[in-house]
Amino acid sequence: MSEETIDTLKPGVADQDGSPNAPVSSATQSGSSPAQRAWRRFKKNHPALLSAWYLALLLIVIVAWPVALKIIPATGPHGSAWAKAYAPEELSDAQFQSPSPQHWFGTDEHGRDVLSRVLYGAQISLLVGFVGASVSLVIGVLWGSIAGLAGGRTDSVMMRIVDVLYSLPSIIFVVVLITTLGQKLKQMPFVRHSPGIEHELRLMILFVGLGAISWLTMARIVRGQVLSLRTRQFVDASRTLGASPVRILFRHIIPNVFGVVIVYLTLTVPSIVLYESFLSFLGLGVQPPMASWGSLISEGVDQINPIRVYWWMIVFPGGVLVSTLLALNFLGDGLRDAWDVKGS
Amino acid sequence: MHRDPPADVTIINFSEPQSLDPAIISAQPDMRIVSGMFEGLTRSDPKTGSAVPGLADHWDISADGRIYTFHLRTNLVWSTGEPLRAADVVYSWIRTLDPDTASDYAGQLFYVKNAEAFNAGKLKDASQVGVRALDPFTVQVELNHPTVFFLELCAMPMASVVPRQAIEKLGDNWIKAKPLPVSGPYQLAFWRVNDKVRLQKNPRYWDAANTQSKIIDLLPIVSASSALNLYERGQVDIVWDKELVPTELLDVLLKRPDFHTFNYLGTYFIRFNVTRKPFDDVRVRKALAMAIDKKRIVERITHGGEIPTSHFVPDGTAHYTSPEGLGYNPELARKLLAEAGFPGGKNFPRMEYMFNAAAGGGKIHEKIAIELQQMWRDNLGVDIELRQLEMQVYLSEQDALHYDISRSSWIGDYNDANTFLAMFVTNDGNNRTGWSNSHYDDLVQQANETTDAARREKLFQDAETILVRDEVPILPLFFYSGINYFDTNKIQGIYNNVVDLHPLQCIRKVRNSKPEIRNSEQ
Amino acid sequence: MYFLRRLAYMIPLLLVISAITFWLVHLAPGNPFATERAPASPQIEHNLRAKYHADEPIWKQYVRYMGGLLHGDFGPSMKYRDHSVTDIIHQALPVSMLLGWLAFGFAMGVGLPVGFATAVRRGQWHDYLGSFLALLAVCIPGFVIAPLLVLGFAMKWKLLPVALWASPLHAVLPTIALGLYFAGKVARLFREGMLNTMQMEFVTAARAKGLGENTLLLRHAVRLAVLPVVSYAGPMLADLLTGSFVIEIIFQIPGLGVFFINSSLNNDYMLTVGLALLYAVLLIVLNLAVDFAYMILDPRVKYE
C-alpha cells in the first residue's frame, strides 16, 4: 500500500544510528549569529522566498474570506444576497457553471461557488496538515529525546515500540481510529449538549490520527540527533554542573534539535495533506457538506473522462493544492538549506 | 499475468462476488453469475423476467393454490454426468432452509409449509418441510397459502439445485471442486479473485442447444469511470449495473443509442427511526416528507430518468396500481411542524441523516444527501447533519436502530407488490425503522392468503396507504431506473424488463456487424 | 551473527503485531456479517457467527487463530466466503509484487539519473527543471495522475489499454502512475545525498589528489550518496509490493492493495490480520536487506 502511508522525512540524513552526517546548528563561528546568517541565506533562495510570500497571502485570504462572508450580510439585503451566493454550503440553481466574473472558479453540481469551497477547504486541509504535523512533532520529539537521553534499557524499549508500530500498516490503524472514535463521539454527553462541537471533534480525530501515524520517523530522527548531541561538550558541562535531565532536555537538547525539526515540519505537512486527500477518496475524510481540498479533488476526479469535462472542478482545487504543497516544499527546502551550516 | 483466450462476451458485473453458493448469496451481481450456473424448477423468461419452465417442464397447481406438483424433465444430468433427480431438488431446498447454512434468502422459501420453523431450529425433522420427492421425477411442494409469485421464487438462486455429491465431499469448499458439477447453462471455467469469473458453456445442460455464447467473462469493476473507459475502448461488451453509471455524464450519454434506461422495480427511500424523538411524532415525519421536492433531485442529481414518487411500490409492478402518498407541499409541512412544537424549525433537536460511502466508488448518496439537507433547511428551517459511514458500519447501525434518518433502497426480488410491502410488517428483519402497525400487518397477511386478485390488490393498496400517507415511517424519493449500456447492433439477447433479469444463456455477440455511431466519436 | 539475531527477533515482533492488529480490528465498529437484506431470523446470524467463532471472547479467538497459523492456515475470509485468506494472498500477492517491482524499477530508473543530474548540475537549468518535476511528482495525488494518464494515453491517443491486467502493455500505465511519486522521492533523496557527499572532506581530498571528476563522482560519492535512497527503499518496497489501492481500483488490477483497504472497511477480521502480518514480514525482511546494503556501501558502518 503505497501512498497510503505517510513518508514524512527522509531517513539517512540523521538516521537511527546517529550517523555523523546529522546537520547540527553550530554556534562555533564568531560574528553574526547563526540565525542572522541563516536568514540571509534564506533570502537569497528565490523559490523559497516566493513560496513564503505565497503562503502568507494564502493564509490571509483564507482567514479573511469567511470573516468577510460573516460581516458583509450586516450591510443590508444586497450584502446578504451576495454572501448567500458565495456561501460554500449554500446550494443554488446554477449548476456546473463555467468560470465567470460572478464565479471565478465556476460552480459545482449543487450550484455552490467553487472558489469559496476551495478557500474553506483550504482552512480544513491546512489545519489538518499543521495540527497533524504538530501532533506528530510533539510526540516524536518527546519520544525521541527521552529515548536518546535516557539511553540503555529505556531507549531500547522505547525504540522497540517504535519498531513494532512501524511495522503495522497504517491504514488499518487509521480506519479503526476514525470509525471507532467517530462512533464513541456520538455517545459522549458533552457532544449532545453542544452539537456544534462534533464537527470540530471529528476533525480533531482526523488530525490526531494522521499525526499519530507520522510521529515514528520523527522520533527516530530526533533520537539520532540527540544521540549525537549528547556527546557534545555543553551537555556534559551541564550535567557536571548538576542540571537535571529534564532541564537538559528543555534547555539544551530541544533548542538544538529545533532547527531540524521545524524544517521537517514543513515537509511533513504536504505529506499529511496528501494523505487526507487519499482518505477523502476512500470516504473517510471530512464529512459532507464540509469541503477539504482532498474531498474537492476526489469529487473533481470524475471530470477526467472522455465524454465531457467540467474542467474547473478539478483544475482549480487541484491547482491550488499542488501549488500550496510545492510552496511548502520549497519553503522547507529553503529553511533547511539556510540552517545547514555545512557550506553552500 | 494471464493471457486468456478471448471470451465471446465480456460483461462488467459490478462487485466481486462474495460467494457462488446459491444458498448464501444475497447481492445482485452474485445472483447474476449464479443464475447462469445453477438452475431451479423454473427459470426466467429473458423478455419479461417471469417464470417459465426450467428443470421442471410442467407443473400442476391444486385448486386451492397451495399444492404445486412439478414434473422434472427426464433427461437431466449434471455437467459432470450424474443424473439429476427430484431428490436433488429437495436436498437443495432443505439445505437452503437448514439453519447451519445461514442463508440470507431462506426467508423467501418460508411460503413453504414448516419451512420457517425448520429454519428457526424449532423443527428438526426435515421430512416435515413441505417439499418432497414423490418419485425420481416429481417434486411436490405444499405452501402455507396460495402465493401468486411462487413460480418466480423457484427461479431464484436460493431455490436452484446444487450438487449434493460435491457438497457432501467438500463441505464449505464445494465451489472449489474441480470439476464443479452445475445444473445450469454454464460451468465455472475459473474464478480469479477480484479479476474475473469465466463461465463456459455446459454441453450437458438440457437446453444447451439454445445457449448462445460459449465463453462469458464477468468482471468485478466498481469504478464507473473505469467501466466507461473500458467500454469506450471496446475492451468490454456490456456494462450492466445501476451503480456503474457516471451520473454527471448521463445527460450526454443517454442521448446515445447504446445507453438504455428502463423501468425497474427498485425504490430509493429514506427511513425514519420512529423509536427516537422527534420521529415518534407522525406530524414531524410528514413534515419532513412533504418538504422534499423529489423532482428536483431527479433532475439535478440523478439524471437517469428516475421517476420521482410519493408511493413505495414501483410503477409497473404486476397486478398492482399504487395509491398516492404525500406530495411536495412545503406550506402544509411547515404547518405540521409548527403543530408538532417546532415552529419554523425552532428547538428542533440535532438530527443526522446517515448514508454509506463507497471507497473509490460513486458519490451519489452524498449528493442526494446534500440536496435533502438544503431542502429541509430552506423549507422547514430544520438543520439536519450529514453522517457518512462505511458500508458495514452503516448496515449494522441501521439494523440496531442507532440512527435518526437513514438513506435506504430496496430492489424487488420478484414482480409483485408483496416484496415491497412485506418488509414493513412488525419485527421483520428488513423493517429497520422500529415501526409497528398491527392493522398493516393484518392487511399484508390477508393479502397473502387470498386468491382473489382484485381483493388482494385492494388489501395491498390499503396497506400502502398506511405506509406512505398515514404513518410515513419511510419517505420514498424515486424509483430507480435500470441502466445498462451495450451496442445493440453487436449484442443480442438482452431485453430490458422491470426485474432486470437477463439470463446469460440468451446473450450473444453478433460478429462482423457495424458498431453504432456514438456522438462522441464524430 | 547480527543478521541472524535480527531474524530471530522477528518472531516475537510478529507475535506482538498479530496481537495488536487482532485487538484493533475487533475494536472497530461494524459487523462483518451485516447485509442489506436481513436474514430471515436472528437465528441465522447467530449460526453464522458461531461458525466463525465470532462471539467467543477475543483472547480465545486469538489463540484459535495462532493455532491455525502454526498449520499455515490464515483463516477464512469473512467477506469472501468461498476463499480463505491464503487463497486470496496466493492469488493477489504475485500480481501486486509484479507491479510493485516494475514500479520500483521505474522509480529507480528514472529517479536516480534525475537526482544525479540535478546534483551534478546544481544551479543550472537542468537542476531547476529536474528538481521542479521531481517535486511536482511528489505533490500530485495518485488518484489524479492515474486518470490523467488514462485519459491521455489510453482514451485520446489510444496507445495503451485502459485497464485490466492481461499483457505487458497493460502494465505500462499502472507502472508509471504508481512509480512517478516514488521516482520523485528518489530523485530528491539522491540529489540531497549527492550534494552532501560532494562536500565531504574525503571528496575534496580526492579532488586535491587530482582524480578525474567523473571517476571521483561515480566511485566515491555515489556509494555514500545513495544511502538515503537505500534507507528509503525498504519501506518503499514494502508498500509497493503489497499493492496500491488507488492504482488497483483505477486500473482494475487484481492485486492485494484493494484487499488491504476493503478488509479494514468490511470488518473482515481474518483477512485484515493476515495482511497486516504479511506486510510486517515484508517490511522486516526488507529492512534487513537495507541494513545489509548499508554495510556493503558504507565502510564506516559496522554492526555488532
Q: Report the C-alpha gap between A68 and A72 in whole angstroms.
A: 6
Question: Alpha helix (H) ranges present in B418-499?
Answer: 418-421, 438-449, 453-465
pTM, two decimals, is: 0.88
Q: Report the C-alpha gap between A33 and A25 in whole angstroms.
A: 11
C301/A contact by beta carbon, under 8 A: yes
What is the pLDDT confidence band of residue A257, given thresholds at 50, 70 and 90? low
The larger pLDDT score, comparing residue B203 to residue A73, is at B203
What is the pLDDT confidence band of residue A8, given thresholds at 50, 70 and 90? very low
pLDDT at A244 over 90: no
Q: Report the C-alpha gap between C169 and C171 in whole angstroms.
A: 5
C165/B contact by beta carbon, under 8 A: yes
What is the pLDDT, as a whole number, of residue A25?
40
What is the pLDDT confidence band of residue A235, given thresholds at 50, 70 and 90? low
A227, A158 contact by CB (below 8 A): no
**C-chain residues near A306 (CB < 8 A):** 151, 155-156
Q: Report the C-alpha gap between B477 and B479 in whole angstroms.
A: 7
Chain A with chain C: Cβ pairs closer than 8 A? 161
Helix (H) / strand (E) containing A316: helix A312-339
Per DSSP, the residues of B188-222 read EEEEETTTEEEEEE-TTSTTGGG---SEEEEE---
Residue B59 pairs in a beta bridge with B70
A172/B contact by beta carbon, under 8 A: no
pLDDT at A16 over 50: no
Q: Report the C-alpha gap between C297 and A12 in whole angstroms.
A: 13
B520:A95 CB<8 A: no
Least Cα separation, residue C200 to chain B (angstroms): 47
What is the pLDDT, as a whole number, of residue A338?
75
Compute φ and ψ for C64, nearest 5 degrees: -60, -40
Number of neighbouring beta carbons within 10 Å of residue B507: 23
Mean pLDDT of all residues in B33-57: 94
Non-local CB neighbours of A84 within 8 Å, separated by 6+ positions: A73, A90
Least Cα separation, residue A224 to chain C (angstroms): 15
Per the prediction, chain B carries an average pLDDT of 91
B232:C155 CB<8 A: yes
**Which of A4, A10, A169 lies nearest to residue C276, judging by beta carbons?**
A169
Residue A207 pairs in a beta bridge with none
pLDDT at B340 over 60: yes
C139:A2 CB<8 A: no
What is the pLDDT confidence band of residue A21, given thresholds at 50, 70 and 90? very low
Helix (H) / strand (E) containing A171: helix A170-187
B426/C contact by beta carbon, under 8 A: no
Counting every residue written for chain B, the total comes to 522
**C-chain residues near B360 (CB < 8 A):** 245-246, 249-250
Mean pLDDT of all residues in B17-34: 93
Compute φ and ψ for A299, nearest 5 degrees: -70, -40
B227, B362 contact by CB (below 8 A): no
A287:B371 CB<8 A: no
What is the pLDDT, as a whole number, of residue A11?
36
What is the pLDDT, as a whole number, of residue C213?
60
What is the pLDDT, as a whole number, of residue B157?
95
> Residue B466 CA to chain centroid, in angstroms?
24
> pLDDT per residue over A123-175, tens digit each?
989 988 888 888 888 888 888 888 887 778 888 888 888 888 888 888 888 88
What is the pLDDT, as a whole number, of residue A18?
34
Q: Is the ipTM reported for this complex over the cut 0.90?
A: no
Q: Report the C-alpha gap between C209 and C204 in whole angstroms.
A: 9
What is the pLDDT confidence band of residue A88, given thresholds at 50, 70 and 90? confident
Per the prediction, chain A carries an average pLDDT of 77
What is the pLDDT confidence band of residue A211, given thresholds at 50, 70 and 90? confident
Lowest-confidence region among B140-144, B239-243, B461-465, C288-292: C288-292
The larger pLDDT score, comparing residue A10 to residue B234, is at B234
pLDDT at B482 over 50: yes
What is the pLDDT confidence band of residue B205, given thresholds at 50, 70 and 90? very high
Side-chain half-sphere exposure of B321, counting CA atoms within 13 A: 1
> pLDDT per residue over B364-410, tens digit each?
899 999 999 999 999 999 999 898 888 888 998 999 999 999 999 99
The larger pLDDT score, comparing residue A201 to residue B304, is at B304
pLDDT at B67 over 80: yes
B370:A283 CB<8 A: no
C246:A306 CB<8 A: no
Instruction: Of A26-30, A181-185, B178-182, C154-158, give the range with the top mean pLDDT.
Output: B178-182
Least Cα separation, residue B409 to chain A (angstroms): 20
C79/A contact by beta carbon, under 8 A: no
What is the pLDDT, as a whole number, of residue A343?
33
Compute φ and ψ for B405, nearest 5 degrees: -130, 140
What is the pLDDT, as a whole number, of residue B95?
95
Q: Which amino acid is at A287?
A: Q
Side-chain half-sphere exposure of B136, counting CA atoms within 13 A: 7
The larger pLDDT score, comparing residue A243 to residue A205, is at A205
C37/B contact by beta carbon, under 8 A: yes
What is the pLDDT, as a whole number, of residue A17?
32
Least Cα separation, residue B107 to chain C (angstroms): 5
**Which of A176, A277, A326 lies nearest to residue C141, judging by beta carbons?**
A277
pLDDT at B456 over 90: yes
Does residue A191 sit in helix, strand or coil?
helix
Least Cα separation, residue B9 to chain A (angstroms): 24
Which of B228, B347, B348, B390 has the most A C-beta neighbours within 10 Å, making it the best mutation to test the interface with A? B390
B20:C265 CB<8 A: no
**Which of C28, C247, C279 lies nearest to residue A169, judging by beta carbons?**
C279
B374:A110 CB<8 A: yes
What is the pLDDT, as a whole number, of residue C87?
92
Which chain A residue is nearest to residue C234, measuring alpha carbons? A11
User: Cα torsion for B360, B365, B370, B375, to the nearest 10°?
Assistant: 170
What is the pLDDT, as a whole number, of residue A100?
87
CA angle, residues A276, A277, A279, in degrees to nearest 5:
65
**A-chain residues near B393 (CB < 8 A):** 179, 183
Lowest-confidence region among A206-210, B3-7, B71-75, C200-204: C200-204
Which of C139, C151, C162 has the most A C-beta neighbours within 10 Å, making it the best mutation to test the interface with A? C139
Which chain B residue is nearest to residue C255, measuring alpha carbons? B194
Spans of chain C below 50 pLDDT: 304
Listed residue (B13, B11, B490, B485) closest to B254, CA to CA: B485
Q: What is the CA radius of gyration of chain C?
A: 24
A157/C contact by beta carbon, under 8 A: no
C29:A325 CB<8 A: no
The larger pLDDT score, comparing residue B111 to residue A102, is at B111
Which of A193, A201, A202, A305 has the most B C-beta neighbours within 10 Å, making it the best mutation to test the interface with B? A305
Least Cα separation, residue B232 to chain A (angstroms): 9
pLDDT at A39 over 60: yes
What is the pLDDT, as a whole number, of residue A233?
59
Return the sign of the alpha-carbon dihedral for residues B303, B355, A316, C257. negative
Side-chain half-sphere exposure of A165, counting CA atoms within 13 A: 17
What is the pLDDT, as a whole number, of residue B76?
94
**Which of A288, A299, A308 lies nearest to residue B388, judging by beta carbons?**
A288
> pLDDT per residue over C286-301, tens digit each?
888 888 887 787 766 6
Per DSSP, the residues of B222-257 read --HHHHHHHHHTTS-SEE--GGG--GGGHHHHTTST
Least Cα separation, residue B244 to chain A (angstroms): 13
